[in-house]
């Protein structure tokens, strides 16, 4: 007989990888849960053998976005006051005035920020968001679904989407316990909390401390430290293929050692094509000295631009692009959905490359899981695409302060530095890997292969 019925709320596609394409579902079945995905994505989860209830006509109140943006700015204002740290200013996105609708939203947000930028004001904003989201047909649709399905708990896969507010409020108003998972390692300092739930699932003790610090209304007994399923698949063997098969599939040269260049989106790294070009130049020089090295380029999955085309064409003898297998169903970044096939592609790319080079991403932990080093880009190019952007801003972000040892990565401090650091990565990286794994243990609860099991045990604790 099946145990409690759990609704896994997917308000957008970013939770698919962690909670649909991992072992999460399998572990839940093993613990005898009845699992239904409350699905607001275009992905048909029944093709994976899952039960799903589709969310129809999800639409937030037309004022909620303005209030959500105001909430973010007010939280950042308060963090600057409390921490005496201007880094929180760098987490703001510029207001948009290019079209009438975004301009109106921006003007409303700015008015709200001016009037409510205080602890008391923030509480009023949070209350108003709930009231707005309880007035529409979407909220009523969620109430009807919950009354019909009668789940014992609603678990939200992402704390950021506005469209998660109404389903969670409906559950709370029916007395159904709710929880949310904090999606990414950098989310809490950036003031990305949009939903308010009964319980919170975090990656680590470090993230738990952040949650208590930035959201003092949350109590310690509301938080479960579980880790993230994001890295769990690295420890499976049934998703990997042989080196020979991988090289054949992607027309790679078995005589070469490959490094991976992992791209960022345009906002995070507007100069990414130039960095890739610098890495190609360094590899070309290494090869002229008797080495045999190639580059696999994995672009950011939500970057469909042509900005790398010239670099890839110029260096097609060195760089092999392997395009992420994400599915584009809309123009916004959160309507570009991951796939199970891409998760397997990423794992095999890591397994069959020697190291990764990028600008400050969590790929350092993906490679640490495979006992391989990461190199972080740490210089500005001469001819910057965006004159206001600088690599120095990136490493000032709060989440990088969790690094216990600056030698957890190899630092690429100039184009001339790349050649030497690639050689170090290929030949003498044991200490770097050890330091990266210590950082990994701070960021993600260990052991990383048992995360889904820990999440389901925490869910069992809540519903029982």
**pLDDT for 365-394, tens place per residue?**
999 999 999 999 999 999 899 988 999 899
Domain boundaries along the sequence of the chain: 5-60+136-228+448-463, 64-133, 234-443
> Cis before residue 439, ω within 30 degrees of 0?
no
CA distances from residue 14 to 156, 213, 354, 421 in whole angstroms, order as listed: 11, 25, 28, 33
The CA distance from 74 to 350, in Å, is: 40
Q: Are strands 356-358 and 374-377 parallel, antiparallel or unpaired?
A: parallel
**pLDDT one-digit tens code per residue, 168-205:** 999 999 999 999 999 999 999 999 999 999 999 999 99
Q: Which two tokens stand for residue 74?
A: 């007010």
Buried b (16+ CB within 10 A) or exposed e, 376-408: bbbbebeeeeeeebebeebeebbbeeebeeeeb
Cα(203)–Cα(448) distance, integer angstroms: 10
Whole-number Å distance between alpha carbons of 189 and 210: 8
Q: Give yes or no for residue 148 having a pLDDT over 90.
A: yes
Helix (H) or strand (E) holding 449: none
Class level of CATH domain 234-443 = alpha beta
pLDDT in tens, 448-460: 999 999 999 999 9
Structural domain 5-60+136-228+448-463, CATH architecture = 3-Layer(aba) Sandwich (3.40)
| CA atoms of 344 and 233, how far apart (whole Å) | 8
What is the SS3 assignment for 398?
helix
- Which residues are CB-contacts of 341 (< 8 A; sequence separation ≥ 6)? 325
Would you say the CATH fold of 234-443 matches that of 5-60+136-228+448-463?
yes
The reply to whether the predicted model has a pTM over 0.85 is: yes
pLDDT at position 409? 98
| pLDDT computed for residue 399 by the predictor | 97
319: which strand partners?
Answer: 295
> Residue 287's pLDDT is what?
98
CA-closest candidate to residue 232, choices 403, 458, 26: 26
For the packed helices 165-173 and 119-133, what is the interaxial angle rounded to 10 degrees? Answer: 80
Task: Return the structure tokens found at 370.
Answer: 């495979």
Around 412, how many Cα atoms within 13 Å sit in the side-chain half-sphere?
Answer: 28
Model confidence pLDDT, tens digit, residues 298-356: 999 888 899 999 999 999 999 999 999 988 765 554 567 888 899 999 999 999 999 99
* Inter-CA distances, 427 with 57, 257, 303, 360, Å: 55, 12, 32, 22
Closest among 8, 17, 9 to 339, alpha carbons compared: 17
- Indicate the angle between helix axes 119-133 and 64-83, nearest 10 degrees: 160
- Distance CA(35)–CA(25), nearest Å, equals 8
pLDDT band at 277 (very low <50, low <70, confident <90, very high): very high
Tell me, what's the pLDDT at 327?
81
CA 149 to chain centre: 30
């Amino acid at each position: 007989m099946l145990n409690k019925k759990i609704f896994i709320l997917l308000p957008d596609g970013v939770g698919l990888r962690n909670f649909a394409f991992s072992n999460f579902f399998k572990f839940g079945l093993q613990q005898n849960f009845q699992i239904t995905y409350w699905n607001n994505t275009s992905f048909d989860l029944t093709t994976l053998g899952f039960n799903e209830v589709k969310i129809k006509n999800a639409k937030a109140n037309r004022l909620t976005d303005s209030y959500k943006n105001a909430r973010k700015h007010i939280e950042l204002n308060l963090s600057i006051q409390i921490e005496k740290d201007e880094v929180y200013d760098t987490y703001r996105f510029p207001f948009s005035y290019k079209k009438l609708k975004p301009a109106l939203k921006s003007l409303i947000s700015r008015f709200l920020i001016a009037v409510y930028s205080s602890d008391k004001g923030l509480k009023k904003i949070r209350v108003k968001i709930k009231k707005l989201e309880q007035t529409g047909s979407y909220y009523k649709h969620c109430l009807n679904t919950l009354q019909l399905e009668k789940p014992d708990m609603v678990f939200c896969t992402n704390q950021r989407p506005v469209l998660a507010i109404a389903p969670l409020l409906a559950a709370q108003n029916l007395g159904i316990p709710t929880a949310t998972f904090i999606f990414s390692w950098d989310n809490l300092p950036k003031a990305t909390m949009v939903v308010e739930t009964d319980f919170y699932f975090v990656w680590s003790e470090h993230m738990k401390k952040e949650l208590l610090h930035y959201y003092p209304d949350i109590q310690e007994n509301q938080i479960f430290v579980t880790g993230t399923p994001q890295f769990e698949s690295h420890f499976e063997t049934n998703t990997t293929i042989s080196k020979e098969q991988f090289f054949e599939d992607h027309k790679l040269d078995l005589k070469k050692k490959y490094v991976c260049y992992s791209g960022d989106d345009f906002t995070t790294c507007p100069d990414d094509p130039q960095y890739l070009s610098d890495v190609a130049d360094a590899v070309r020089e290494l090869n002229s000295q008797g080495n045999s090295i190639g580059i696999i380029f994995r672009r950011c999955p939500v970057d469909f631009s042509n900005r790398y085309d010239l670099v890839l064409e110029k260096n097609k003898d060195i760089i092999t692009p392997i395009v992420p297998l994400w599915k584009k169903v809309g123009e916004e970044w959160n309507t570009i959905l991951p796939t199970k096939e891409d998760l397997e592609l990423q794992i095999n790319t890591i397994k069959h490359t020697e190291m990764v080079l990028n600008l400050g991403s969590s790929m350092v932990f993906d490679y640490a899981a495979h006992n391989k080093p990461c190199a972080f880009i740490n210089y500005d190019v001469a001819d910057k695409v965006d004159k206001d952007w600088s690599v120095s801003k990136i490493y000032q972000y709060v989440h990088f302060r969790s690094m216990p040892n600056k030698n957890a990565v190899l630092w690429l401090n100039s184009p001339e530095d790349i050649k030497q650091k690639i050689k170090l990565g290929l030949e003498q990286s044991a200490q770097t890997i050890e330091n990266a794994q210590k950082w990994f243990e701070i960021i993600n609860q260990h052991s990383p292969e048992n995360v889904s099991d820990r999440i389901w045990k925490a869910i069992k604790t809540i519903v029982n």
